[in-house]
């Protein structure tokens, strides 16, 4: 009887150790985000606004059609779906065309194509490596993603706009037992310049969720890109 109890104790102890080891495998212990590569051009200069030589009274005599044109030029339009999935159940999702964001001017009620703007700088990018490790210190998720953007476009010599802004997965590894999803979101847009000489700005973020049989972890990483080429990790 004593031998039976001893054997039962050993079996229960062994099962408990196995359960603890299994639990450690399925729990996230650390998360790191590293800038691996990047390419950026010089900052685009912002044209200074010219002061009018006319008095306030003379301004009221400006052609109303011109005033309407200038007013319409103040409008900044955002193109591209606000949120899109880049990783679903551990697999990259084919990027749709509307997943590329643009901040462009609107003239006389019409959207202006980026080909109608001048002075675009060469595309810039940042590459980030996201690594998640379990309690054993084993990497269970590794994602390399690139943030692309083209900046500096001007319309009629004014403004600094953005096109080709996207978050694109480049390389992904997900270990067995982990479910990994990631989404790209355009959070907000702002004008860092003036109404007559806009310098657009866009805040974007990468949000991910990792699930196991034991828990779920969510994280977000945000970035701000300006029309003059400035890039900031928030």
For 133-185, write each residue's pLDDT tens digit. 999 999 999 999 999 999 999 999 999 999 999 999 999 999 999 999 999 99
Strands (DSSP E) found in 17-118 = 28-39, 76-79, 83-88, 91-92, 101-107, 110-111
pLDDT at residue 159 in the model: 94
Alpha helices per DSSP H over 62-165: 64-73
More confident residue, 203 or 6: 203
Cross-strand pairs, 229: none
pLDDT tens per residue across span 97-129:
778 999 999 887 788 889 999 999 999 999 999
User: What residues have CB less than 8 Å from 208, skipping those under 6 apart?
Assistant: 87, 130, 143, 180, 181, 182, 183, 218, 219, 220
Q: How confident is the model at residue 46 (pLDDT cuts 50, 70, 90)?
A: confident
- CA–CA separation, 105 and 159 (whole Å): 9
More confident residue, 24 or 60: 24
pLDDT at residue 230 in the model: 97
Average pLDDT of the chain? 83
| pLDDT(226) > 50 | yes
pLDDT at residue 186 in the model: 96
∠178-30-16 over CA atoms, to 5°? Answer: 65
pLDDT tens per residue across span 49-83:
665 444 433 333 333 332 333 334 457 888 999 99
Residue 175, helix vs strand vs coil: coil
pLDDT at residue 75 in the model: 79
Residue 40 is given by DSSP the state -
| pLDDT(231) > 90 | yes
Residue 18, helix vs strand vs coil: helix
Domain coordinates of the chain in residue numbers? 29-41+78-233
- CA–CA separation, 209 and 218 (whole Å): 4
∠186-187-193 over CA atoms, to 5°? Answer: 95
């Amino acid at each position: 009887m004593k031998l039976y109890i001893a054997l039962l104790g050993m079996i229960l102890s062994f099962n408990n150790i196995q359960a603890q080891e299994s639990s450690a495998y399925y729990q996230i212990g650390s998360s790191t985000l590293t800038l691996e590569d990047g390419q950026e051009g010089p900052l685009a200069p912002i044209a200074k606004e010219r002061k009018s030589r006319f008095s306030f009274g003379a301004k009221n005599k400006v052609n109303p059609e011109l005033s309407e044109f200038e007013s319409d030029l103040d409008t900044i339009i955002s193109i591209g779906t606000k949120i899109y999935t880049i990783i679903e159940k551990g697999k990259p999702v084919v990027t749709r065309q509307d997943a590329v964001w643009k901040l462009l001017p609107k003239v006389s009620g019409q959207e202006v194509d980026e080909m109608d703007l001048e002075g675009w700088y060469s595309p810039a990018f940042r590459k980030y490596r996201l690594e998640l490790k379990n309690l054993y210190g084993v990497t269970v998720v590794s994602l390399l993603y690139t943030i692309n953007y083209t900046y500096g476009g001007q319309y009629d010599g004014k403004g600094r706009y953005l096109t080709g802004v996207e978050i694109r997965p480049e390389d992904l590894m997900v270990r067995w037992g982990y479910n990994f999803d990631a989404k790209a979101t355009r959070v907000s847009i702002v004008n860092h310049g003036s109404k007559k000489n806009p310098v657009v700005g866009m805040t974007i973020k990468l949000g991910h969720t990792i699930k196991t049989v034991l828990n779920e972890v969510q994280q977000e990483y945000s970035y701000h890109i300006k029309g003059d080429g400035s890039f900031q990790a928030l």
